[in-house]
Amino acid sequence: MKPETPGVAAVADAWTADLHDVLTALVAEELSAAAHLRISYELATTDGVVDARQPDLQHYSASTMKLPLVLAAYRLHDRGTLDLDSTLTVHNSFTSRTGEPYAIDPDEDSDPEVWARFGQQVPLRWLCRRSIIRSSNLATNLVADAVGFEAVAEVIADCEADGVQVVRGIEDYAAQRAGISNLVTVSGLNRILLALATGTAAGPETCAAVLGVLADNEVDTDIRPGLPAGTWVAHKNGWVSDGVLDAALVRPRGGDDPRDQFVLSVAISGAWPNERSHRLIQRIAGAVWQRRPGGGDD
């Protein structure tokens, strides 16, 4: 059964006929055990959407907000208004969007490398990289201070990433209590990845550089484990106690060959063991891989 979304059917024709039904069944199986979950996914190519479930539903972003943030930093570098090779001192004092001071909890950070450089001068480019490959919260806030949220909003607008908003730093709980929250949609995340894939999010060399950082992501709990070992994947995932997300550009022929590339973003929100959510995303990724054009030849 093909999806009935306008404009989707023609794109989906190149994929196996059971793709939609298989993905629907995987989601239904999870919802049968946890009906409260909010589950969204979107599979797309540069030609359009292949299949989707609630792609415009907003989810708390968790660390997927680091994708447009780092892209914004690279774009400012291209314009000459921010030098990624300049250095700044690693510190842990930030100002909430509400004006209050706050700090990052090191026990909640997944990257000890940035904390090991506390008080030292480090390149902004290195902090961008740590924000992605180890999802460093401390590095993220330092980058956010250097970039500013207006530049991130410009990235989101230019990529037409509807439903994505990045308006505060990590662990800015005062802002969160005030209703200022980072949100994403799987459709919006895919728009950013597709803009990177086609070299339109910034200059082609800059897009390639950002994709290279995303491909070096070392936190592989979601889409990448669902694919064959060695598959080229550029992605940014995120997780909190009640949410797991991953947004990925997949190139089956390798990072330098965009033929047959696709983007897949999945978001799961609601109180539920993260391990279950990771596993569902892996299963969705595996099902997509097997049903892509030419996938039956693997």
Instruction: Write the CATH number for 106.
Output: 3.40.710.10
85/170 same-domain check: yes
Is the predicted pLDDT of residue 152 greater than 90, yes or no? yes
Residue that is last in its domain, among 145, 167, 182: 182
Last residue of a domain, one of 157, 182, 207: 182
Asked if residue 161 and residue 67 are part of one domain, the reply reads yes
| Whether residues 156 and 82 fall in one domain | yes
190's tokens: 């895919």
Q: What is the pLDDT of residue 298?
A: 62
Do 153 and 235 reside in the same domain of the chain? no
266 in helix, strand or coil? strand
- Asked if 46 and 199 touch (Cβ cutoff 8 Å), the reply is no
pLDDT tops 60 at residue 5: no
Report the distance separating Cα 21 and Cα 289, nearest Å.
Answer: 15
What's the domain count of the chain?
2
Q: What digits encode the pLDDT tens for the residues 30-76?
A: 999 999 999 999 999 999 999 999 999 999 999 999 999 999 999 99
Mean pLDDT, rounded, for 244-259: 98
From CA 66, how far away is CA 59, in angstroms rounded? 15
Whether residue 87 sits in one domain with residue 40? no
Pairwise CA distance, residues 88 & 122, whole Å: 6
Work out the number of other CB atoms within 10 angstroms of the CB of residue 86. Answer: 12
β-pair partners for 59: 184
Considering the domain architecture, whether residues 53 and 74 belong to the same structural domain is answered as no
Cα 21 from Cα 73, distance rounded (Å): 40
37 and 132 both lie in a single domain: no
| Residue-level pLDDT at 295 | 80
Is residue 160's pLDDT more than 80?
yes
Identify the residue with better confidence: 14 or 231. Answer: 231
More confident residue, 9 or 151: 151
Tokens of 75: 């774009």
From residue 123, alpha-carbon distances to 92, 130, 205, 230 in Å are 16, 11, 20, 30
Rounded to whole angstroms, the Cα distance separating 56 from 207 reads 25
- 210 Cβ partners below 8 Å, 6+ apart? 70, 71, 74, 196, 201, 202
Mean pLDDT of all residues in 195-218: 98
- pLDDT tier at 93, thresholds 50, 70, 90: very high
Which pLDDT score is estimated for 12? 64
Q: Are 226 and 280 in contact (CB under 8 A)?
A: no
User: Same domain for 248 and 282?
Assistant: yes
* CA 217 remoteness from chain centre: 11
Q: For residue 249, what are the domain limits?
A: 1-57+185-298
Q: How far is CA 91 from CA 97, 122, 267, in A?
A: 18, 11, 32
Using CA atoms, how far residue 260 sits from 197, 218, 289, 294, in Å, is: 12, 24, 11, 9
Residue 8: the pLDDT is 52
Residues 218 and 142 in one domain: no
Looking up tokens 């550089």, which residue turns up?
209
Last residue of one domain, picked from the residues 131, 157, 182: 182
Do 52 and 189 lie in a common domain? yes
Q: Give the length of the chain.
A: 298
User: Is it the case that residue 109 has pLDDT exceeding 90?
Assistant: yes
One domain, residues 219 and 141: no
Mean pLDDT, the chain, whole residue set:
95
What's the whole-model pTM score?
A: 0.95
Question: Are 38 and 132 part of one and the same domain?
Answer: no
Mean pLDDT of the region 279-296: 94
- Sign of the CA dihedral running 187, 206, 201, 95: positive
The predicted structure's pLDDT at residue 10: 55
What average pLDDT score do residues 75-101 get? 98
- Beta strands 183-184 and 232-240, pairing class: unpaired
